[in-house]
């Protein structure tokens, strides 16, 4: 028997023009928000609504799964000098 996941993974990244986009990896949930606080709250609400009334075991999830959030950001440094020489 396959073990049930205790976490739902999500990625937060900057939006195309402004704000942030959050997207779950295992379930079909995508949301947005103007700030990190707002997008995180929106993600929690969207996941709760998506899972409401669902049989979590059928989705491969343990009861009361937590959100594991990774944030994608552009690097603030330039690695090109380390990999390319003139």
Number of independent structural domains in the chain: 1
Confidence of residue 31 (pLDDT cuts 50, 70, 90): very high
DSSP string covering 48-76: HHHHTT--GGGGTEEEEEEEEEEE----S
Distance CA 11, CA 7 (A): 13
Q: Say which CATH number the domain at 68 has.
A: 3.30.160
The answer to whether residue 41 is domain-embedded is yes
The answer to whether residue 13 is domain-embedded is yes
The answer to whether residue 86 is domain-embedded is no
**What's the confidence (pLDDT) of residue 80?**
72
The answer to whether residue 81 is domain-embedded is no
Question: Do residues 55 and 47 touch, judged by C-beta distance below 8 A?
Answer: no
The answer to whether residue 79 is domain-embedded is no
**What's the confidence (pLDDT) of residue 9?**
97
Tens-digit pLDDT profile for residues 42-59: 999 999 999 999 999 999
The answer to whether residue 83 is domain-embedded is no
Going by the DSSP 8-state scheme, the letter that residue 2 receives in this structure is P
Range of the domain at 55: 5-73
Residue 1 has pLDDT above 80, yes or no: no
**What's the confidence (pLDDT) of residue 86?**
58
């Amino acid at each position: 028997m396959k073990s049930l996941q205790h976490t739902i993974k999500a990625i937060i990244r900057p939006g195309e023009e402004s704000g942030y986009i959050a997207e779950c990896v295992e379930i079909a949930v995508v949301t947005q928000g103007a700030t990190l606080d707002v997008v995180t709250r929106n993600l929690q609400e969207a996941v709760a609504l998506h899972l409401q009334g669902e049989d979590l075991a059928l989705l491969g999830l343990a009861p009361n799964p937590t959100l594991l959030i990774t944030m994608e950001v552009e690097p603030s440094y330039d690695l090109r000098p380390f990999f390319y020489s003139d």
